[in-house]
Structure 1
Amino acid sequence: MSRRFISGWGLLALLLMCITTPLQAKKMLFAAMDDWPPFIIDTNSISSDSGFDGIDRELLQELSTRTGIDIYLLRYPFVRALQDMQGGRVDLLTSLAKTPARSRYIGYLSTSYYQCHPAFYALPAMAKQVRSYADLRGKKIGYVRGAAYFEPFDSDRHLNKNAVLNESQLPGKLLKQRNQLFIGTDCQVDYSLHEMGLSKQIVRTVYQPEQHIDLYIGYSKAAGIEKEVALLDKALAEMVAEGWVARLVNSYFHSDNLIYSVPPTP
């Protein structure tokens, strides 16, 4: 029985096979993954043959089963994954927010499978002081390079922003007081703080943006995978309508202290 989710040297052989095979409709796709729990949990445990666990891994696994399309997971820094989506070197990205800039080279499956909110976090004393967007001025704010949060924050050049490569770096920088605040996505940060036992040391600021972030599966427009995308699009819409995705997400957000907000079924 073939394995749909692999990593390491097996991927090298698959990539070489793709290069030497005549051009045709793809039967395998490559999804870039970067640690973003609980959606993408980077692990090399024996319980995961792909090196990843989490909501997105199980989501892609079910999509693979329903469509017959092999989906292989590649460990990729997020910013580099965005770059390689432009050239079609990566086929899929999960937990992706839509932006006009990304839409030039990324298409999206039509159904959003989760909804999060941008949120600011700080040590308790500082969290009480940040009561409006204006209070962000003059404070050093950690964020992930390449991430999309909300406007006007994303394009605001008057704020003192300190970029990191991965969300996992943000709590540590805050505790070491290298940043005074950091911005994140509540569904990811709340889960991570809970798992790390930091929910009391690092808290949300009084000010919280009103915007929401719908999460999509994005695909490279340059990859030439329109047939596969149509199959994936249909399957994901069915999974959301059936409540399959909601049940999956509920299995990860197991604490009453965590926010759970699946978008309404279309």
Structure 2
Amino acid sequence: MLIIAASLISIANPAMSNPLTAQPEQRNILKVLKADFRHRPPEMLFDERNNQMLSPLKDILEEAAAKIGYSILWTHRPFARSYEELRTGDVDIVPRTVRNQEREEFIAFLGPIAEQNRNILFLVKLGEESKILSYEDLYNLTIGTKRGTAYFDRFNQDIMLQKIESVDDKNMAQMFINGRFDTMVILDRSAIEIALEQLGYNKYSYAHYYYPNEIGNYFGMSRKSPHFHIFDDLNQALLEMRASGRIKEIYAAYNLLSELE
């Protein structure tokens, strides 16, 4: 009777009759990388009305993944949450993840696809540019920061500074307008200026003090990702796209070549 039951099950579900024939289908299902997307203009735009994601970084990752037989499943999330998911392996890849020593413990960095000048700026109210002439002047001020963002080592590790966290650029811009802090530390100048413009605010400037900074444009991959074994192949695909000029072609299609400088 047991043999008959097993045969009936096999007929009802042919895939079970031969485990070897089921494996390719399973591999296809599993060859999907989970990636997080956030609104970070101008390189990453999320249209809430249409749930649409537009970005050269999205196109680049999808093309590189396709070269090694993978597809990408995108989810819109704030970076602070993506950062925690990189720790746990709940997400595989997050674009535009700044590389530093602390993050190396749980993130492997794909790329870089470009090296970019991104001086760390301090945004102040118009006319207050001289308020910050040196790093030491920061100790007298309250400073808005974006949760999960790495700026520069001294600032990141300085527990004497009065830092106030916000979840994203829009939230930080609104808090600044409302007088919640004296200055904002800025890594992504374009993103914060767009947020301020959308809020109808233009009475701001930048302090004379800034921190010179050059960063690599990396995709962060969780070391706990179930697909971590493809890291080298995916990294090679991205670096070949950079060497061939394909990265520049994609950025040019978005009229964003200046973002690679």
Question: TM-score, structure 1 length as denominator?
Answer: 0.77
For structure 1, which segment, 240-249 or 84-93, has the greater mean C-alpha deviation from structure 2 after superposition? Answer: 240-249
- Letter matched to residue 32 of structure 2: M
Partner of 1:51: 52
Considering fraction of residues, name the structure with more helix. 2
Residue ranges of structure 1 left out of the alignment (5+ in a row): 1-20
Change (3 A) 1:251 1:174: farther
Percent identity of equivalent pairs: 22
Match of 1:206 among 204, 208, 225: 208
- Letter matched to residue 127 of structure 1: E
Asked if the contact 1:38–1:191 (Cα under 8 Å) also holds between the matched residues in 2, the reply is no
Residue ranges of structure 2 left out of the alignment (5+ in a row): 1-24
Partner of 2:90: 89
Report whether the alignment pairs 1:78 with 2:82: no
Match of 1:29 among 22, 27, 33: 33
Match of 2:182 among 166, 175, 180: 180
- Letter matched to residue 151 of structure 2: Y
Partner of 1:18: none
Partner of 1:153: 155
Q: Secondary structure at the match of 1:231?
A: helix
Q: Secondary structure at the match of 1:228?
A: helix
Question: Equivalents in 1 of 2:151, 2:129: separation in Å?
Answer: 19
Change (3 A) 1:191 1:123: closer
- Letter matched to residue 56 of structure 1: L
Q: Secondary structure at the match of 1:152?
A: helix
Question: Equivalents in 2 of 1:157, 1:145: separation in Å?
Answer: 15
Report whether the alignment pairs 1:42 with 2:46: yes
Partner of 2:243: 241
Residue by residue, what CA displacement relative to the aligned partner does 1:68-113 show, whole Å, maximum 9, x if unpaired? 3111111222222222222211100110111222111111114343
Asked if the contact 2:42–2:191 (Cα under 8 Å) also holds between the matched residues in 1, the reply is no
Q: Secondary structure at the match of 2:140?
A: coil
For structure 1, which segment, 197-206 or 35-44, has the greater mean C-alpha deviation from structure 2 after superposition? Answer: 197-206
Question: TM-score, structure 2 length as denominator?
Answer: 0.78
For structure 1, which segment, 193-202 or 117-126, has the greater mean C-alpha deviation from structure 2 after superposition? Answer: 193-202
Change (3 A) 1:110 1:251: closer
Partner of 1:260: 258
Change (3 A) 1:127 1:59: farther
Q: Indicate the RMSD between aligned Cα atoms, in angstroms.
A: 2.9
Change (3 A) 1:101 1:90: same
Change (3 A) 1:189 1:244: same
Residue by residue, what CA displacement relative to the aligned partner does 1:88-146 show, whole Å, maximum 9, x if unpaired? 11100110111222111111114343423322111122223211111112111100122
Question: Equivalents in 1 of 2:214, 2:143: separation in Å?
Answer: 20
Question: Equivalents in 2 of 1:142, 1:45: separation in Å?
Answer: 29
1:213 CA displacement: 2.5
Change (3 A) 1:114 1:128: same
Change (3 A) 1:60 1:212: same
Partner of 1:98: 99
For structure 1, which segment, 21-30 or 202-211, has the greater mean C-alpha deviation from structure 2 after superposition? Answer: 21-30
Change (3 A) 1:199 1:133: farther
Alignment of 1:89-128 (within 5 A): 89-115=90-116, 116-128=118-130
Moved over 6 A (4+): 21-25
For structure 1, which segment, 169-178 or 53-62, has the greater mean C-alpha deviation from structure 2 after superposition? Answer: 53-62
Partner of 2:140: 138
Change (3 A) 1:65 1:192: farther
1:209 CA displacement: 0.3
